């Protein structure tokens, strides 16, 4: 019997790191996970009630319009104008997807040919690199500075005739950096000048602390024609399992995006869309009530980790719920992460998953922590690092 050839471009795509770390966690019961980027709360009650009511509506069980259900599209249009300053009437469309990750996959499929390049500042969000490789394209990695802010000269130098897009994620996963408006304007302008797209991942739009402010590049003058802005209900509304995200994208891409959506998803799960309308009706106030406790947890996490200096370096964390730590020692990040789980019962995500292949880095996610668990989790991490790096 002949074996079927299984070597494809997937071989070059990294394995889903959260699942890899999850396997290790399962082997060590009681491990506190600072791994997965999730929040500790679920959806608003009214969203759950709407979903319950929708169970008896025959429409819930049918295919629906690909772009999204009318009430949800209206809620999104209103929110984009109110919270992001994005006016769809200038020439953008909205597509509701099964989460922000799918919006990114759709966008890459719609704007690239195999062999094209997409610029990713590093550290990157792993699923972005994976999506680019799955599309047969090359992720061109561009360094950021020591505070994980964009290096505009490096980005400019990385643009080639094959570049199709520059990706920014602000607030950032995995670093927690929030990019200032001037930097986002510069990237957006560069994209306009070079005839390429600015893909702006804004799934952490509401998660900023202190004086940091979220800015949507899609609202800049003239940006609508080359900016693809992505959002998600996963974090803001505790909706990760309901799989609802959306993007605002230039009208010129409508046919291409519709083809990808119809092939991959047909339409986002109808019951989740119904729940999403109710959640968006509650609005950002829903997650804003969790921001103060989250900011306090961030302060504890940053202070505890900073106490490890000079063993580790912890840049400022202005947004999202991540902290990206550099270990100032010659250690293998994968082995270190494994030992933190096996010997100290605490899980983090190692830097290579985010494209940091030189040096030792790891991401701490604190969105799932309550104040009670944060002390224990960070205590284990700090104790573990002190003992492993001694």
Ligand X SMILES: Cc1ncc(COP(=O)(O)O)c(C=O)c1O
**What dihedral angle (degrees, nearest 10) is formed by the CA atoms of 118, 120, 124, 127?**
-10
Q: Does 201 bind ligand X (CB under 6 A)?
A: yes
Do residues 200 and 227 lie in contact, with contact meaning Cβ atoms separated by under 8 Å? yes
Q: Does 168 bind ligand X (CB under 6 A)?
A: no
Stretch near ligand X under the rule CB under 6 A, chosen from 78-86, 97-105, 186-194, 251-259: 97-105
Q: How many residues bind ligand X (CB under 6 A)?
A: 13
Q: Does 238 bind ligand X (CB under 6 A)?
A: no
Among 17, 21, 37, 242, binds ligand X (CB under 6 A): 37
Q: Does 179 bind ligand X (CB under 6 A)?
A: no
Stretch near ligand X under the rule CB under 6 A, chosen from 93-101, 189-197, 264-272, 381-389: 93-101
Do residues 122 and 143 lie in contact, with contact meaning Cβ atoms separated by under 8 Å? yes
Distances (CA, A) of 9 to 133, 159, 309: 8, 24, 41
Among 203, 219, 253, 268, binds ligand X (CB under 6 A): 203
Q: Which of 127, 130, 159, 126 is nearest to 142 (CA)?
A: 159
CB nearer to ligand X: give 98 or 274.
Answer: 98
Number of C-beta neighbours around residue 39 at 10 A? 21
CB nearer to ligand X: give 203 or 305.
Answer: 203
H helices of 43-180, in order, are 45-54, 70-79, 100-111, 126-134, 152-158
Closest approach, Cβ 98 to ligand X, in A, equals 8
Measured CA to CA, the distance from residue 32 to residue 52 in angstroms comes to 33
Bridge pairing between strands 322-327 and 312-313: antiparallel
Q: Does 234 bind ligand X (CB under 6 A)?
A: yes
Bridge pairing between strands 360-365 and 349-350: antiparallel
Computed on alpha carbons and rounded to an integer, the radius of gyration of the chain in Å comes to: 21
Q: Does 245 bind ligand X (CB under 6 A)?
A: yes
Q: Does 125 bind ligand X (CB under 6 A)?
A: yes
- Nearest-CB residue to ligand X? 99
Q: Does 169 bind ligand X (CB under 6 A)?
A: yes
Contacting residues toward ligand X, per CB under 6 A? 37, 99-101, 125, 169, 173, 201, 203, 232, 234, 240, 245
């Amino acid at each position: 019997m002949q074996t079927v050839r299984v070597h494809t471009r997937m071989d070059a795509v990294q394995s889903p790191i959260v699942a890899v770390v999850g396997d290790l966690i399962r082997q060590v019961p009681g491990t506190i996970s600072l791994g997965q980027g999730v929040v500790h709360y679920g959806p608003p009650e009214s969203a759950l009630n709407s979903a319950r009511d929708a169970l008896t509506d025959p429409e819930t069980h049918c295919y629906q319009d690909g772009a999204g259900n009318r009430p949800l599209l209206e809620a999104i249009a209103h929110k984009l104008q109110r919270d992001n300053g994005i006016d769809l009437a200038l020439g953008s469309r909205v597509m509701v997807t099964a989460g922000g990750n799918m919006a990114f996959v759709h966008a890459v499929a719609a704007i690239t040919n195999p062999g094209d390049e997409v610029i990713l500042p590093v550290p990157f969000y792993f699923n972005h690199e994976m999506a680019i490789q799955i599309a047969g394209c090359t992720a061109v990695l561009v360094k950021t500075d020591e505070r994980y802010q964009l290096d505009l000269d490096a980005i400019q130098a990385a643009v080639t005739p094959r570049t199709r897009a520059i990706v920014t994620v602000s607030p950032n996963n995995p670093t927690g950096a929030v990019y200032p408006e001037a930097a986002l304007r510069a990237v957006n302008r560069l994209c306009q000048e070079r005839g390429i797209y600015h893909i702006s991942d804004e799934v952490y739009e509401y998660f900023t602390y202190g004086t940091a402010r979220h800015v949507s590049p899609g609202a800049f003058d003239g940006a609508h024609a080359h900016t693809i802005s992505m959002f998600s209900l996963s974090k803001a509304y505790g909706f990760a399992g309901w799989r609802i995200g959306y993007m605002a994208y230039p009208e010129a891409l409508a046919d291409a995006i519709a083809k990808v959506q119809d092939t991959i998803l047909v339409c986002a799960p109808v019951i989740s869309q119904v729940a999403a309308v109710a959640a968006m009706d509650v609005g950002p106030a829903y997650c804003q009530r969790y921001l103060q406790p989250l900011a306090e947890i961030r302060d504890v996490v940053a202070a505890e980790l900073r106490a490890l200096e000079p063993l580790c370096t912890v840049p400022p964390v202005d947004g999202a719920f991540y902290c990206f730590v550099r270990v100032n020692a010659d250690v293998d990040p994968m082995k270190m992460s494994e030992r933190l789980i096996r010997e100290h019962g605490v899980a983090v995500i190692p830097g290579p998953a985010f494209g940091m292949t030189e040096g030792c880095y790891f991401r701490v996610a604190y969105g799932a922590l309550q104040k009670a668990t944060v002390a224990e989790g960070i205590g284990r991490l700090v104790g573990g690092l002190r003992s492993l790096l001694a």
